[in-house]
Chain A
Amino acid sequence: MFALRGIAVSLTCFVLLYCLLSALVAIIWRPLKLLHVAQQSVADLLFELRILPLLASVVITFALVVPSFQRLEPRSIDEGMGIMPLTLGVWALLLIAYGCFSVIAAEIRSTRVVTRWLEGARPLKDNAGSLVAFQSRREAPPLTLVGVRKPRVVVSECTVALLSHDELCIALKHELQHMKSHDNLKKLIFRCCPFPGMAKLESAWSEASELAADDAAVSNQSDAVDLAAALVKLSRLAPVEAVPVCTVSFVAGSLSRRVEFLLAWDEASKARRVRIRTWFVVPLVVAASLLVAVAYGPVLAFTHEVTEWLRW
């Protein structure tokens, strides 16, 4: 019973912290989009903010809630389990199960889709660095980076026929940047931490990571124009649909923003773009850890007090 109560209280704290922090993140992330810094920094900050609720709630649960219960809770067998820890504990378990299921389902779907695209595919002659690229014979998207552990690029036959050699090379370099940034892994991690209202943050991260990959792939204006040309050409591969007026600016915004960014690209502006190094977080984390280590006893006592009222 003691162990069960401990698990229920820990899960309750975890889910409450997770929901509170997620709600907070869903409200406060928007100003990050307006930062005048390199897009890679924007993408990194958005990613860190997106996974912060999960990380923080796991760390606090395992570093404070579990030890405080183990050390300070009297091992009385008479105390029953309240309705709140029971309900929230079940909720937490459902949340964890949903996160795991989402990851597994995404992996299964990805494997299925990629297997279909790679049927009869052959290695691509034009390659970029350490990228393994395949020319798909099946109906596949124009150019896609697939896989988390062994990333590969699938290029459709139409893409090979449509793009010039230079355009294809720079497009492959763009995918190489996604591979270096582990963007597919990040997409999978997003699925581990489901929360309503995070779709816009993920969409902003996606747009920032595309711009960052564009920026990192090009090294001169000619590359930038080739990449912009490749973007426009590949957008034409898909059937053009009539889009409701109210959604055109938003949906098309991403493509036009990327093309405009590339056409205005030059070496000087790239050098001027400020990159926020996230190592500044390290001293903060070390300081917080030291503070908790020094005052661990009182912090545990405080945590125990806080968790006490969660047990009815």
Chain B
Amino acid sequence: MLQELWSHGSATVRELLADGKIHQAYTTVMTTMDRLYKKGLLDRVAEGRAFRYTPRHTAEELQRGTALESIRQLLGSGDPSSLPLSYLVEALGTHDAQLLDELQRLVERKRRELQGGELKNRSKPREQS
């Protein structure tokens, strides 16, 4: 579809299908164009009840960008958790608030139990004496 758009310059879904080079259903092409727009690969302007789509990048720019992105991902700023680094808490940002609240309550309860136990141990010798 991008190839077709590059050859047209800009087109609506109906114009792309009119060429006969794309054999998908109208809704399939429309959905794909919408996804490409949302991924930032296309620009669009309303034209009546449809949209006219224009490629945001040329074929060369897109290929260069893809290659650079691949290299950046390989060498650059990917997910730090995959690096040979040891984190105290891994998978940060994936814990939900409710779970953390529940764990916090458990920790506080255990801490109170321990403190209560210590107080009892301290008071026992006094009682005995």
Stretch at the interface among A6-14, A43-51, A102-110: A102-110
Q: Across the A-B interface, how many residue pairs have beta carbons closer than 8 Å?
A: 131
* Interface 1/0 per residue, B96-116 and A, CB below 8 Å: 110110011011001100100
Stretch at the interface among A15-23, A57-65, A236-244, A303-311: A236-244
Given A141-B80, A228-B110, A251 contacting B88 (CB threshold 8 A): no
Q: Is the CB of A225 within 8 A of B85?
A: no
* Interface 1/0 per residue, A246-268 and B, CB below 8 Å: 01100110111001100100000
Residues of B within 8 A of A256 (CB): 99, 103
Q: Is the CB of A263 within 8 A of B107?
A: yes
Residues of B within 8 A of A237 (CB): 92
A127 proximal to B (CB < 8 A): no
B27 proximal to A (CB < 8 A): no
B84 proximal to A (CB < 8 A): yes
Query: Interface size of B by Cβ–Cβ distance < 8 Å?
Result: 31
Q: Is the CB of A240 within 8 A of B100?
A: yes
- Give bound CA distance, A242 to B74, whole Å: 28
Residues of B within 8 A of A (CB): 74-78, 80, 82-97, 99-100, 103-104, 106-107, 110-111, 114
Q: Is the CB of A232 within 8 A of B88?
A: no
Given A228-B110, A251-B91, A175 contacting B86 (CB threshold 8 A): yes
Q: Is the CB of A141 within 8 A of B87?
A: yes
The one of B82, B88, B97, B100 that contacts A175, using a Cβ cutoff of 8 Å? B88
Given A144-B85, A256-B99, A259-B103, A225 contacting B92 (CB threshold 8 A): no
Q: Is the CB of A263 within 8 A of B74?
A: no
Query: Interface size of A by Cβ–Cβ distance < 8 Å?
Result: 56
Q: Is the CB of A188 within 8 A of B106?
A: no
What are 28 A-B residue pairs whose CB atoms fall within 8 Å in the complex? A109-B75, A109-B78, A110-B83, A113-B80, A114-B85, A141-B87, A144-B85, A145-B87, A175-B88, A183-B86, A185-B84, A210-B90, A222-B114, A225-B110, A229-B111, A232-B104, A234-B89, A235-B92, A235-B95, A240-B96, A240-B97, A240-B100, A248-B96, A251-B91, A251-B94, A252-B94, A254-B91, A255-B99
Beyond the given pairs A143-B88, A247-B94, 19 more chain A to chain B contacts, judged by CB atoms under 8 angstroms and listed by A's residue number, are: A110-B85, A113-B80, A141-B92, A142-B87, A187-B84, A187-B86, A229-B107, A230-B88, A232-B103, A232-B107, A235-B92, A237-B92, A238-B93, A242-B96, A243-B95, A251-B94, A252-B99, A259-B106, A263-B110
Minimal beta-carbon separation of A177 from chain B (angstroms)? 10
Residues of A within 8 A of B91 (CB): 251, 254-255
Q: Is the CB of B75 within 8 A of A108?
A: yes
- Give bound CA distance, A85 to B110, whole Å: 63
Residues of A within 8 A of B100 (CB): 232, 235-236, 240
